[in-house]
Structure 1
């Protein structure tokens, strides 16, 4: 998997590695590969307990009040990915999922509240694939979901980056997250550079 996995991993579009702050980062493609693998393997022998935990995770995320801080909701949505890895029954996959959790939380947080409907819809489709043991369908759904989520990150963040928003005062970050505005200041230096040069982000 390379050297881009760590407990404080961030999300970037470029290569795995270290950002300017010395924090580990992961690429979107690496996240997609790992998550689609978890989905495929989890379909082989999904236990009733694992399926129940995944359904409960979706229900809990949906049950959070509408005015809850988005970073709290993002963490709840990211928990589904952890449980999916645990559903594989492979302790190594579960360990990897926990180590890259920061990348997923950051990605969901940056996508903002507008991504919630697409997240919930994807979760429902994934649960159906798991119940039917449709490994190909589950892997494909995860890949499609990660692609849609990445596009939503661009939709949420590129306009502000084009407008020249720099890193805001740290004290302002929670409020920006609650309102669903792109937390540009929370992105790694590599992330800001990579998103700025992503397709469709030309000035």
Structure 2
């Protein structure tokens, strides 16, 4: 799946992108406003989608001055399933956080990075997960948990999960690597805190920063 396009799991059409906007905002939008958000699609195409959704009753159209604004019909029978699909991304992150929090030896830090974090996923993208093993974690238990996590994420999304693991000492020695910097700048934290991560990287000896 594409976390940035949750409706693509059931339909690859523009309808899903429009519904994602309407279902994740408690507001009404003009065609032009939706077009500015979905700049990869034509305004005429968006207008046709909205007209089709209004006919289905899923979307309501209200006249404001000389224009129409559109909003999700929250009373429609399909409204809750639509909202659930629109929330797939937040559902994924919540489920991932809960899984890591349930470990008997939880990671010192964890984040999703790469295209899954920056909104550039394709159907063939990996879900990249950055894990830092705590000092008290038993290696055998940790390895089993990581394997279970990799399997679970693939089952949840249909994408391959790629887990990158560090010990705390390895993290401190690798703080200048591009991938680690990418996690710091763009990663989405799912365990621990970003402040802790930054603190560990600041602990890199000066001779290792050159």
Give the TM bin, normalised by the shorter chain.
Answer: under 0.3
TM-score, with length taken from structure 1: 0.27
Answer 1 or 2: higher relative contact order, Cα 8 Å, separation at least 6.
1
TM-score, with length taken from structure 2: 0.27
- Structure that is richer in helix per residue: 1
- Structure that is richer in strand per residue: 2
From the CA coordinates, give the structure whose radius of gyration is larger.
2
